[in-house]
Structure 1
């Protein structure tokens, strides 16, 4: 099942993110990655460059602990 989320990013742009299974694609930038693990409000995602990102969700906010970027779900 696919799911699209609209996120307002720290770069001031809107990001439409498509998730199909464990694959995640930012339709705004064309970058993709894979969800490696999910537990409660935390996720580990491998991006297209092979870097791992630790994501923490709290309500409508998602923080990439690896980069320090925060995204707000709209």
Structure 2
């Protein structure tokens, strides 16, 4: 789960799950009109996702295939 207060997001190398060539990683986006609370992006995203906040519909999936 990631979090951004801008219109862009970058997945840091340390957060990329273990993978091998041919594996895929899938990304879905949901937007909120509120700002999440927490000490980091994971806590902020979780608070919005699990709280009583109304977010947008989930986006269509975007995927990346590892080489």
Instruction: Give the shorter-chain TM-score range.
Output: under 0.3
**TM-score normalised to structure 2 length:** 0.26
Between Structure 1 and Structure 2, the one with more helix by share is 2
